[in-house]
Structures are given as structure tokens and as C-alpha cells.
Amino acid sequence: MPTLKELKLKRVGPNEIVGRPYYGVKVQIVKSTSHLHRDHYLAHIEISDRLEFNGEVNLGEIHSVKRFKLHEVLGYIDALGDREVLTSNMLNRGAGKFPIALRDKGGCCDPDTETYHSM
């Protein structure tokens, strides 16, 4: 199971975790302070409409996920990283677009970034 650090998330208070685990994805996780739902976590996940998913239309998505354990919420966020998004090669735009995992978009494994070409 991924850690908060691996998913680029950090605690900003005793009951709140925020971060941007992947390119175009913003996450806020809040632990319930209600007496009835004391051990519940609610994750609010926003996916940018700038991302182009492979075979899917993306108009910007918002997920609300309620789980009993923090590691279940982190597992859900980790699974989002496996979704395929389209990218292109910044040095050869004519070659068209091809799919890569969302977790690789915008990083050193994305040929649409300078980081990829400067390694």
C-alpha cells in the first residue's frame, strides 16, 4: 500500500490530508470527527479536464470516496494512477498521441516533457 509521501500527500491538520498525487489530480482527505462516523475518511478527488484519457471523454471529474480506513482511500487514489492518458512526443508531434499511465504524465517518463529528453 502506498504511503502519503509516495502519493505526494501531506497532513495539514489533525483531520485533513491534501496534495496533488498525479498531474492534473487534486486530492483532499478529511477524517470524520462525528461521534457516529468517527473512523470514516472522505476523499474529494478532482481530475482536470485538461487530461485526455485513452478511449474516454473527460469533462473534468470529481470523485467522492468514503471508506472506513485510510489505507483503503490511499489504495483508491493509487489505482487512479493506472488509468491511461494520452500524451505525445514533444520533439515529434506528427507521430500522434499514445497512451501512458496517469502516474507517469508530466514526469520523467513522459516524452511530452523536457525532463524526459534531458535524461
Cβ–Cβ under 8 Å, residues 53 and 81: no
- Average pLDDT for 74-81: 92
Confidence of residue 13 (pLDDT cuts 50, 70, 90): very high
Amino acid identity, residue 116? Y
Q: Where are the domains of the chain?
A: 9-117
Q: What is the DSSP letter of 90?
A: T
> Mean pLDDT lowest for which of 11-25, 49-63, 81-95?
49-63
**Which whole-number Å values give the CA distances from 59 to 46, 65, 111, in the listed order?**
11, 19, 24
**In the numeric block, which cell numbers belong to residue 53?**
484519457
Q: Is the pLDDT of residue 57 over 70?
A: no
Q: Is the pLDDT of residue 42 over 70?
A: yes
Provide the β-strand partners of residue 29.
17, 43
